[in-house]
Amino acid sequence: MRPTVILLSFDSQETLGATLSSARLVSDEIFVVDSYSSDGTVEIARSLGAVVVQHPFEHYGAQRNWAIDNLPITRLWQLHLDADELMDSGLVAAIQALPDEPAHSGYFLRRYVRFLGRVLRHGGLSPTWHLRLFRTGVGRCEDRKYDQHFLLRSGSYGQLKGAMLDDHQMPLTEWTARHNRWSDSEVAELDAGGISGRLRPNARGNPAERKRFLREKYNRMPLFVRSFGLFAYRYFFRLGFLDGTEGFIFWVLQTFWAHFLIDAKIWEKRRAARLAAGTAVKPAS
């Protein structure tokens, strides 16, 4: 199998080179969909043989679906990566070993997180499974502003050996700034309600469906309390503390701080709505 590789990028010069080097081991048709980077991202991509296409960024789901609909893809299979997702030798070998007509229409890939230079291996978020390799014409990304997953329109799915490494090399200032922006997207997503073409929560389904099932359960828990509970679950019960100082920083920021921030913004939005409603019905003096 030689799938078309599609990467999304924005100011990704620190990680793109390694990602493209591993991608070239499985394909010679690589597209980088860039959102008008201001650093050396475009030059690095072109120097490593990728075709660069510029497109304004709305959110990840929209960007991925634009790429599926508009790129001149010639291969029967597609592999979708982010600019900081590096494939290890095991995953490269697993993709290379697939025939042109494998048993399934899509494959889940295992992904680990490297944070502050350390690969996290505990806590329940590293590794996770993501559907990223699928037959052209059957894969689509959810139209969500945050926490998007790919879906198969038809066919079955499998899992491959090896893993991707989500290599977080940005400084904490940028990391927290991005999560602040993503918290706005998550609040907007929670207000959007059910929309067709979304992942179906299923406690007995594939890895993405099980993850969405747990998220739906989490969303029904009381504001603020749930962020404390999630941190305790990941850091203590799922042994996140075994990942050392780097793990402690990650779990405090990613599990507690980011989710507490989402709850605070939900509370702020509801409070503003109550105040506006009270003003609207207040009788004139």
Query: How many distinct structural domains can be found in the chain?
Result: 2
Average pLDDT of the segment spanning 99-113: 95
- Please report, rounded to a whole number, the percentage of residues in the chain having pLDDT higher than 70: 96
Identify the pLDDT of residue 128: 94
Residue ending a domain, choose from 138, 168, 198: 168
What is the chain's mean pLDDT, rounded? 92
Evaluate whether residue 100 is within a structural domain: yes
Return the CATH number at 56. Answer: 3.90.550.10
* Last residue in a domain, options 141, 168, 195: 168
Instruction: State yes or no: pLDDT of 185 exceeds 90.
Output: no
Same-domain status, 22 and 63: yes
- Residues 209, 128, single domain; the answer is no
Give the C-alpha distances (Å, rounded to integers) separating 85 from 29, 107, 191, 194, 222.
17, 16, 30, 30, 34
**Banded pLDDT at 196 (limits 50, 70, 90):** low
Segment 103-111 mean pLDDT: 96
Query: What is the predicted pLDDT for the residue at 197?
Result: 65
| Each residue's pLDDT tens digit, 140-172 | 999 887 788 999 999 999 999 999 999 999 999
Same domain flag for 144 and 192: no
Residue 17 has pLDDT above 60, yes or no: yes
What confidence tens digit (pLDDT) does each residue in 109-124 have? 999 999 999 999 999 9
H/E element holding 158? strand 157-159
Same-domain status, 52 and 107:
yes
Asked if residue 214 has pLDDT above 70, the reply is yes
Over 60: is that where the pLDDT of 93 sits?
A: yes
Query: How many Cα atoms occupy the beta-carbon half-sphere of 255 within 13 Å?
Result: 23
Q: Is 170 exposed, middle or buried (0-12, 13-18, 19+ CB in 10 A)?
A: middle
- Host domain of residue 110: 4-168
From 168, 195, 218, the end of a domain falls on: 168
Domain-located, residue 229 = yes
Query: Is residue 226 predicted with pLDDT exceeding 90?
Result: yes
Statement to judge: residues 48 and 35 lie in one domain: yes
- On the question of pLDDT at 282 being above 80, the answer is no
